[in-house]
């Protein structure tokens, strides 16, 4: 079974600064998919970024980028130029594959607060 660990329960960052959220996972699979989801106080879960394990290149989406270290089973999210709207709970998640393997396993989440 897969496990996803987010050991930091809370973080705070000043507006316009950069923050990194940590995530580690454990799996025996060689190919899989990793995600960061954002859940604002309104509770709508939003997909932030996705990484395929077979790709060495780290995924980027505008101000969001990941540092994927497959050997270390580490998948951190970097948010650059933090904005007040980035205040939310962030979940790291793991997926084995498509179809019957497409269920997500989530970490406990981290609450990020962006200070004005």
To the nearest whole angstrom, how small is the minimum distance from the Cβ of residue 114 to other proteins? 20
> CB-based contacts of 94: which residues, under 8 Å, 6+ apart?
2, 4, 25, 27, 32, 33, 34, 35, 104, 105
**9 versus 116: smaller Cβ distance to other proteins:** 9
Q: CA 34 to CA 3: how far, in whole Å?
A: 12
41 contacts: CB under 8 Å, gap ≥ 6: 87, 88
Which chain residues interact with other proteins by CB under 8 A? Answer: 33, 35, 37, 42-47, 50, 52, 91, 95, 97-100, 102-109
Cα–Cα distance, 94 to 43 (Å, whole number): 20
Minimum distance, C-beta of residue 42 to other proteins, in the bound complex (Å): 8
Cβ closest to other proteins, residue 79 vs residue 90: 90
Q: Closest CB to other proteins among 3 and 18?
A: 3
- Of the pair 67, 104, the CB lying nearest other proteins is at 104
Residue 17 Cβ vs other proteins, minimum distance, rounded to whole Å = 26
Cβ count near 91 (within 10 Å): 22
- The least distance separating other proteins from the CB of residue 5, rounded to whole angstroms, comes to 11
Whats the size of the chain, residue-wise? 116
């Amino acid at each position: 079974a897969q496990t996803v660990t987010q050991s930091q329960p809370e973080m705070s960052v000043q507006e316009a600064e950069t923050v990194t959220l940590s995530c580690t996972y454990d799996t025996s699979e060689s190919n899989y998919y990793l995600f960061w989801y954002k859940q604002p106080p309104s509770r709508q879960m939003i997909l932030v970024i996705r990484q395929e394990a077979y790709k060495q290149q780290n995924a980027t989406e505008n101000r969001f980028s990941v540092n994927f270290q497959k050997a270390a089973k580490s998948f951190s999210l970097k948010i650059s130029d933090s904005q007040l709207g980035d205040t939310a709970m962030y979940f790291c998640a793991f997926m084995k594959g498509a179809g019957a393997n497409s269920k997500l396993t989530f970490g406990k989440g981290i609450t990020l607060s962006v200070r004005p």
